[in-house]
Amino acid sequence: MSEKISLYDTAGIDSLRRELALDPHQLHRLRTAFWKKSAGAEAAIAELPAMAQATVADRVEFHPLTLDVRLDSQEDGATKLVFVTKNNQRIESVLLRAGTGRTALCISSQVGCAANCDFCATGKMGFHANLTTGEILDQVVQANEQIRGEDRSVRNIVLMGMGEPFHNEATVYEVIDTLISGRGFNHPASRILISTVGIPEAMLRCGRRYPSVNIAISLHSVRQEVREQIIPLARKYPLGELRRTIVELNSIQPSTVMVEYLMLASVNDSLEDAAELAEFLDGLRVHVNLIPYNAIEGAPHLTGSSREVRDAFANSLKSAGLTTTIRYSMGADIEAACGQLVQKLERQRKQVSSSRTS
């Protein structure tokens, strides 16, 4: 039997449509049911004429990923979904149900990550592969299928899972094109955020191509030597270049640039650090998001700042006129919080067993 055609293979699906003499509108109804309504493959196929249903079911691949493990937090509204690719590699996505009723989904763009940030479990596992367009989008599809029974759907999509999105740039753009297209997911561009360690040329390409897509930069320090210690890639992109990039993004995008700042005790959390950060960001249209550190294996030398220190840091930034929030980390009990996503099957199996017996 020949390999199935991925639903995300536009040319292949169009060829099959002509072979089956299907009207383009009939195929559009299938995609609408599957992508926009999260109705599942069976219901989507039922949108086609009866004579084509068996062939499409047999020859089209709807899910490039297999859902292997689902972990639900016992403490908050987080759910971690562990998927397996065709190459038997595992990636993770995280559903976040906010108290406001809104649902966000943090998706992965790579298996592992080459950035090797000191605070990130994904970086510790190294880089293994770029995900395909279908593999990235299928995280959205399957997440929506998981929460459909809750009368929820994914409102905000964040590329902040495993991987550096701009190291898989062309594919990420194909993903965004499909997400925002009326013939695709019809998802608002303004509800998509791309988080990067800071690759200036890619940030600008993205900003020019998608002015309404939000960009977040992992800054974490405005002292070059400190930033290089925790983000090795910072050696290639000095702070002055990053600031000029934010200035240009401000000129081409209506939204603010999200500045992510991980709070690490005795590393970057002093009031002097806050003052230097405020000076660096002065005159820029940014939103500073202070992030509590979530402990990971392989970084025993890092400790998160206390709540009191985070509050003092935030107040200092606010006094300087910067819009500042402290992120509330969700999913820490299932290792789904920021920086904790990593390919560790045995631990995930134990987490499932533990959650079932608790």
Nearest to 299 by CA among 117, 164, 126: 117
H or E segment to which residue 318 belongs = helix 307-319
Greatest Cα pair distance in the chain: 71
Distance CA 40, CA 189 (A): 24
Examine the residue annotation and report whether 117 is marked as an active-site residue of this protein. Answer: no
- The single-letter DSSP state of residue 32 is I
With contact defined as beta carbons under 8 Å apart, do 179 and 191 qualify? no
Sequence-distant (≥ 6) Cβ neighbours of residue 272 within 8 angstroms: none
Measured between alpha carbons, how far is residue 228 from residues 119, 199, 260, 274, 288 in Å?
12, 14, 16, 18, 20
Residues 6+ apart with CB under 8 A from 5: 12, 13, 16, 59, 60, 61
Return phi, psi of residue 270, to 5°.
Answer: -80, 165
330, burial (CB in 10 Å: exposed 0-12, middle 13-18, buried 19+): buried
User: Would you say the C-alpha torsion 14, 153, 186, 200 has a positive or negative sign?
Assistant: negative
Asked about 338 being catalytic, the answer comes back as yes
Structure tokens at 172: 């990420």
What are the E-state strand segments in 275-322?
286-292
The Cα-based distances of 216 to 125, 178, 186, 288 in angstroms read 23, 21, 22, 10
CB 103 within 8 Å of CB 153: yes
Reduce the secondary structure of 35-54 to three states and give it as a string.
HHCCCCHHHHHCCCCHHHHH
Query: Which DSSP helix (H) or strand (E) runs through 355?
Result: helix 345-357
Catalytic residue among 3, 47, 92, 276: 92
- Annotated catalytic residue, options 106, 113, 206, 338: 338
Q: Which residues are catalytic?
A: 92, 338
